[in-house]
Amino acid sequence: MRYVVGIDLGSTTTKALVLDEKANVLGRGITNSRSNYDAACQIALGEALINARFSVLDSELQRDGVREAERTAWTRTLERIFRLRQFRAQLEALEEELKRVLVRFDLKAVYADAVNRILRRMNEEAAALFAEGASRKSDFFRDLAGSSYLRHAEEESRGEGLAFGPLAGLYDKAILEVENLPTAAGDFENHALGALAEMDGPPSKLASSVERAAGIELKQVGSVGTGYGRARLPFPEGQIRSEILCHGLGAHAMFPNTRTVLDIGGQDTKAIQVDDSGIVTSFQMNDRCAAGCGRYLGYIADEMNLGLHEIGPLAASSERPVRINSTCTVFAGAELRERLSLGEKREDILAGLHRAIILRAMSLLARSGGVADEFTFTGGVAKNPAAVGALQKLVFENYGKVGINISPDSIYTGALGAALFALKETSRFDA
């Protein structure tokens, strides 16, 4: 099976999206961006290809005449066990790296027992993370493992009189190496067959379909890269496209009636106008400052000691948003602390911050040509309920009733556009 891939290297996350030759989405993958861009691309693509194998598996089950309800139930159970095995493989890689760090810094005699106890508890808790109906705050190994490790490290520092700082520092050093290992999460065949063995009497059709899905050759025939870090992608110059072109084309592919696109990324915001073919007709971007972008929200989350995924829902619960004077990261911390010292509620401050961010985006939209029906919101911030709520309100106030499209896969819009460019190039050479 031939495929093309689009990779969007953002300042915060790297996304990969795989299309087949008929422009069907086979798989998506995402990972934290890092200084090693080659590794980030490999890991995101590896996850997208694993995801693609599950799409192939579903096709194989359909070919065997398995009904949709059964296919969904079987693959959901298989993938849940698959992800648990993947997580445990990454834990093993983390354990090996922690051992090396202990030796390298001559800390084995003091901290080895505590680290072993922490890892044992993390392994014991892993099954609950991937149990049926379990809710996880993140799907990134770094986040899941880090939350568990630091919680147990704090317990160790209280019970054994060990210093928390060095214990936490051990994790920070080890995880940098582990998350740059493309092989740490394993492959589809190994984990899928292992997951089958762990299932309680897996159906014979599922077992045979897994074997066929694992055996099908996936051949990459094209690739295009985009994103904030596109200049550092390990791609030839001819396989690089701008974020603006990719978000415009990707948004049009998701919602064909799209005429205006807003992408709020980690480091920049883009207001884009497209025609009925998804071709960009005009655009505006913010300046080099990351004020009003995803990185700014991450900074605010750190200042409030919250996870990035927590600030949107908290802001959405506000009843009296405060007026924020600046969305500059240089001054944000000072204003935030001042507001808190005056007794302002956290949710009200956060609601004001989200509104200030969207106001900056509205200025870009106006300069790019305004908001036309339909309007599509892309990028990671499109999953933030407070940002979405503020955008809907301000668009209505300024432009009236406009259809606003937000996809659950909005963060992959740029990667989708890149993959579509790759498919066009491949088709041109095949013709």
Q: What percent of the chain has pLDDT over 70?
A: 95
Where residue 93 falls among pLDDT bands split at 50, 70, 90? Answer: very high
pLDDT digits (tens, 9 = 90+) for 316-342: 999 888 887 655 655 666 777 788 888
User: Residue 226: its pLDDT value, please?
Assistant: 94
Query: pLDDT: is 74 or 310 the higher one?
Result: 74
Where residue 426 falls among pLDDT bands split at 50, 70, 90? Answer: confident
Distance CA 76, CA 67 (A): 14
Residue 431 pLDDT exceeds 90: no
**Percentages helix, strand, coil for the chain, rounded to the nearest 5?**
60, 15, 30
Sheet arrangement for strand 219-226: 25-32, 13-20, 2-9, 219-226
Distance CA 82, CA 76 (A): 10
* pTM of this structure: 0.90
Where residue 135 falls among pLDDT bands split at 50, 70, 90? Answer: confident
How do the domains of the chain map onto residue ranges? 65-215, 256-406
Q: Which residues contact 260 (CB under 8 A, 6 or more apart)?
A: 271, 272, 273, 274, 365, 368, 369, 370, 371, 372, 374, 375, 376
pLDDT digits (tens, 9 = 90+) for 42-65: 999 999 999 999 999 999 999 999
Name the CATH code of domain 256-406 (choices 3.40.50.2000, 3.40.1800.10, 3.30.420.40, 3.40.50.880). Answer: 3.30.420.40
Structure tokens at 423: 């498919």
Residue 290 pLDDT exceeds 60: no
Residue 26 pLDDT exceeds 70: yes
Residue 262 β-bridge partners: 271, 377
In 3D space, the residue among 349, 351, 393, 398 whose CA is nearest the CA of residue 372 turns out to be 398
User: Residue 73: its pLDDT value, please?
Assistant: 95
pLDDT digits (tens, 9 = 90+) for 352-406: 888 988 988 999 999 999 999 899 999 888 999 999 999 999 999 999 999 999 9
Structure tokens at 170: 């051990």
Distance CA 9, CA 228 (A): 6
Q: Which helix (H) or strand (E) holds 301?
A: helix 294-303
Q: Which helix (H) or strand (E) holds 26?
A: strand 25-32
Mean pLDDT, range 133-156, rounded to an integer: 89
Chain center to CA of 328:
25
